[in-house]
Structure 1
Amino acid sequence: MKSSQVIHCWRVLAALLITTVLFGCAELSPTNPEAQQQSMTLERQQDAQAVRDTATPATGRRVWFAGFAMSSASTAFQNDMELVSSRLSELGGPVVKYEDSNGQQTGRLRYPFATPATLAEAVQHISSHAGPDDIVVVFISTHGNRKILGVNAAHKEFQPMTAGELSAALAPLGKRPTVVILSACFAGSFLPELQGERRIVITAASGERASFGCQPASRNTFFTEGLFATDFDASKSLSQLMAQAKVEIARREHVLKFPNSEPQMSVGLKVRWLAERPLKDWFQPGNEINDAPPVAPLSLLGDAGKNAYRKYQSEPSPRAFVISSGGAGQYAVGTTPKDASLPSDPAARALALCNRRGLADCRLYAVDDRVVWSEH
């Protein structure tokens, strides 16, 4: 871990300790029977409201929002969830919401507790009520590590949610168009388990990078603020908003001398229309184009990816270059890897290295001087 990341982590831990001393005793916890009963009551109320909201047939699509702030360690996580929820409400169409949070709550709960169990239950309710063409947005903001999402309530750590558990929890959504957004460190490590042909997965960082803005008193994480607060425009598509956010987040990280978090976006083949449709038009029925125009692969590359490709072109054969939809480039040269656990074939090794970094949609672009890119 680089020194800037270490300093960042120590600052978070020190501030968290102070916050715990000041507020920990007064906070409601899932381990408190009365608080747990309050949480279950709020869950039932949310589902009853969803049933009322869907009692009248919609003329177009509905958007279903399942938002989870899974950690009390920072105010940013609940703020993130509320920001995304408010942005969806501003789109002008019917939005049905399940909102859960472990944010600092005293006296009476405002939201049900955000746990793997309440997430799975909310998704199950959505799968029961939503139409086959409705759009589902699942948003999670919390601390994270490789293949895990932290669960912290009343400043007490609970069993984290693994990539496999999240994948299983989302399975009832079936073939419904789904957008999964993870605002957490190392969130790209979830991509292999979550990617699907009818699913868009957006992560705050690659599988090997931290994300930032989660100090105890933060307003929002850098990622969620960049995607939904800074210059947000509902006439833009998710793809456009993500491209805009990546530039803003990288600029902010550079100013603070933080390493780039490398936010990722994976788009399933059958929801490319959703990634390219303006958010304000999400509620319109039909007219999906599953076979969007081909993408010029090199146009996907960010500045670092373009630099990597220039270096690749000067390397001797055999060599191979891989591109991710997140704008990163990865290449391998020769048949003798430094890491003996990696394949000797440069194409297979470049793909393995890209996947190891937790990058989205790693695809082979070139072998030596031959372009081998495929849209599928």
Structure 2
Amino acid sequence: MIDLKPSINFWHDLKSNQIAGLWLFLGSRKCLKIVHPSIFQLLFWGVVAAGVNTLYSWMVAGQTGAFNPQGLVSYALWPFIALIVGIFLSQRMNNTRLMLVPAILWLVLDSNVLLLQCFLQYLGDHDYLNFLPDDVYNFLPTLFMIFFVWQSLAVIWVFSRELKWPWWERALIMFATICTLVVWQMSVKEQPIWKVSDLPPTISEDVFYAQNDLLKKSLDAVQLGDFSQTHWYFLGVAGDSYDAVFSSEIQRIKSQFDTRFGTFGRSVQLVNDPDTGTKIPMASQTSIQLALNRIGQQMNRDTDVLFLYMTSHGLENHFELENAPIDLKQIDPNWLRSALDKSGIKWRVIVISACYSGSFIPALQSDNTLVITASAADRSSFGCNSQADYTYFGRAFFDQAMREKMSLHDAFIDAQATVTKWETAQGFEPSEPQWSLGKNMELMLPQLEKHLFPVANTIIPITNNVASTDAIQP
């Protein structure tokens, strides 16, 4: 016989029911000795559970979309079933107060599980879980699905043990519950509480017809180098359209190079961003190759230098280009090296900001090249967040170090230390930015930098002690 505790007052019952829910999670019959059922507790936990589930659905939807009442009705099926089970048990045991217990216990446990899930979703949305191995991170949704199944089975488990049901009855009810869960999941997966309409991405007619003129105008504006002096040329590539940080970063860095480093009239930006489709040419293999070819034609190849900056998401040997619905070819190290070689550009400073960008170094390094990457070949980089103006590396290297230091090497050392400090503070595995300097570029770079930092170099001599074509971590 289940001996339920009488209701004392709302707050005392609330505390007891919270503890009972935690015991239920452990599958302990102790929850039945702690729970204090009442209609007010049922209503309170029902509102809390509905609110937390709505919050989680809103977060998963990216804080966009519209409230979907059908999703909330679908969710309410489970506490309703628990209430029916309670009615059945109360009649079977001739104990009317037992009627609310299954529903209250289920709602308490569901509210707590969903609060934890909301917290982890918040951490994931703000890149605070990037320190987790990919397998662990990807398993989290499955783990919480297991929790959802268990909270229903746990109610049956504790009651069946307390009431000493025969094993076959326990197995039959649990099997029926699992089948109901599967059918329910298949039926309502398209009906979340917060629903985002799945509209296919589109390219407007204005963007479609503007792109050819934008690219031609941008490339035609690249000025011919003065053969009497050294010039720096800048090419910036923002690869992904779905994270605005890459577009913002390229536009800010191009402006910085044009105003501070004298590349005005010798700079090109290629950006994948739905907001710039009628203003800036898109980034693709074709536009990158054409931009490199144009710069190679206009520069003095013996004395001028290209600064190529590419920022996007990435995988090993993969720099992502995305501008839906266009099916863009992706960038791999060998293609990029081939594109640079075809352009005829001799002196190259290449900076790549993406996860696993260090994997590009072996293909890109040469005697005449400096390669800098935001991460090692087996590491992620961080800060790819649409609310940010720069990635971690972009801010540390361009927005901070390049404004203060008077050589690329000093700027890299400073940015490397800054990024490591930020990542350590966030609990991330350090990305380990890389530096690879060719032997000819080692000799040439101090002379080239005099034209990148013209004022500072008249006062402060530039020295560079790095003498290796291998990727190193100074």
**Structure 1 counterpart of 2:380:** 210
Q: Which of 124-133 and 85-94 deviates more?
A: 85-94
**Structure 2 counterpart of 1:269:** 439
Paired residues, what number?
280
Q: Contact between 1:239 and 1:276, CA under 8 Å: does it hold in 2?
A: no
| TM-score when normalising by structure 1 | 0.66
Q: 1:9 to 1:88 in 2, by over 3 A?
A: farther
In structure 1, how many angstroms separate the alpha carbons of the residues matched to 2:137 and 2:248? 20
Residue type of the alignment partner of 1:250: T
- Picking from 132, 135, 142, the partner of 1:4 is 132
The residue correspondences of 1:1-376 to structure 2 (distance < 5 A) are 3-4=131-132, 6=134, 28=203, 35-50=207-222, 53-54=223-224, 57=226, 59-91=228-260, 93-95=262-264, 96-105=266-275, 109-132=278-301, 133-154=303-324, 158-174=328-344, 176-233=346-403, 236-276=406-446, 279=449, 281-282=451-452, 324-327=471-474
Alignment partner of 2:330: what SS? strand
Q: Which of 250-259 and 176-185 deviates more?
A: 176-185
Structure 2 segments unaligned to the other structure (5+ residues): 1-128, 139-195, 455-462
Q: 1:277 to 1:243 in 2, by over 3 A?
A: farther
Deviation at 1:164, TM superposition (A): 1.1
Q: 1:217 to 1:9 in 2, by over 3 A?
A: farther
| TM-score when normalising by structure 2 | 0.53
In structure 1, how many angstroms separate the alpha carbons of the residues matched to 2:409 and 2:199? 40
In structure 1, how many angstroms separate the alpha carbons of the residues matched to 2:315 and 2:394? 18
Q: 1:213 to 1:92 in 2, by over 3 A?
A: closer
In structure 1, how many angstroms separate the alpha carbons of the residues matched to 2:464 and 2:401? 27
Instruction: Show CA shifts across 1:216-263 (max 9, x none).
Output: 332211011110112433651000000000000000000000000010
Q: Contact between 2:446 and 2:464, CA under 8 Å: does it hold in 1?
A: no
Residue type of the alignment partner of 2:215: E
Deviation at 1:163, TM superposition (A): 1.2
Deviation at 1:325, TM superposition (A): 2.0
Deviation at 1:98, TM superposition (A): 1.4
Instruction: Show CA shifts across 1:176-219 (max 9, x none).
Output: 21111101100000111100111111101010000000023322
Q: 1:98 to 1:6 in 2, by over 3 A?
A: same
Structure 1 segments unaligned to the other structure (5+ residues): 11-20, 285-291, 298-322, 328-376
In structure 2, how many angstroms separate the alpha carbons of the residues matched to 1:123 and 1:163? 15
Deviation at 1:166, TM superposition (A): 0.9
Q: Contact between 1:142 and 1:151, CA under 8 Å: does it hold in 2?
A: yes
Residue type of the alignment partner of 1:82: Q
Q: Contact between 2:231 and 2:451, CA under 8 Å: does it hold in 1?
A: no
**Structure 2 counterpart of 1:330:** none
In structure 2, how many angstroms separate the alpha carbons of the residues matched to 1:87 and 1:295? 26
Q: Which of 84-93 and 192-201 deviates more?
A: 84-93
In structure 2, how many angstroms separate the alpha carbons of the residues matched to 1:211 and 1:9? 16
In structure 1, how many angstroms separate the alpha carbons of the residues matched to 2:465 and 2:355? 32
Root-mean-square deviation over aligned CA pairs: 3.3
Q: Contact between 1:62 and 1:283, CA under 8 Å: does it hold in 2?
A: no
Alignment partner of 2:260: what SS? coil
Residue type of the alignment partner of 1:45: K
Q: Which of 256-265 and 108-117 deviates more?
A: 108-117
- The structure whose residues are more often strand, as a share, is 1
Q: Contact between 1:238 and 1:277, CA under 8 Å: does it hold in 2?
A: no
**Structure 2 counterpart of 1:289:** none
Q: Which of 32-41 and 145-154 deviates more?
A: 32-41
Alignment partner of 2:385: what SS? coil
Deviation at 1:69, TM superposition (A): 0.4
Q: Contact between 2:442 and 2:466, CA under 8 Å: does it hold in 1?
A: no
Alignment partner of 2:472: what SS? coil
In structure 1, how many angstroms separate the alpha carbons of the residues matched to 2:131 and 2:263? 46
Deviation at 1:7, TM superposition (A): 10
Alignment partner of 1:87: what SS? helix
**Structure 2 counterpart of 1:308:** none
Q: Taking CA–CA contacts closer than 8 Å with sequence separation of 6 or more, which of the two structures ends up with the larger relative contact order?
A: 1
* Structure (1 or 2) with the larger CA radius of gyration: 2
Q: Contact between 2:236 and 2:309, CA under 8 Å: does it hold in 1?
A: yes
Q: Contact between 2:379 and 2:432, CA under 8 Å: does it hold in 1?
A: yes
Q: 1:26 to 1:208 in 2, by over 3 A?
A: closer
Q: 1:27 to 1:119 in 2, by over 3 A?
A: same
In structure 2, how many angstroms separate the alpha carbons of the residues matched to 1:295 and 1:206? 18
**Structure 2 counterpart of 1:331:** none
In structure 2, how many angstroms separate the alpha carbons of the residues matched to 1:22 and 1:170? 42
Q: Contact between 2:405 and 2:411, CA under 8 Å: does it hold in 1?
A: no
Residue type of the alignment partner of 2:394: T
Deviation at 1:22, TM superposition (A): 8.2
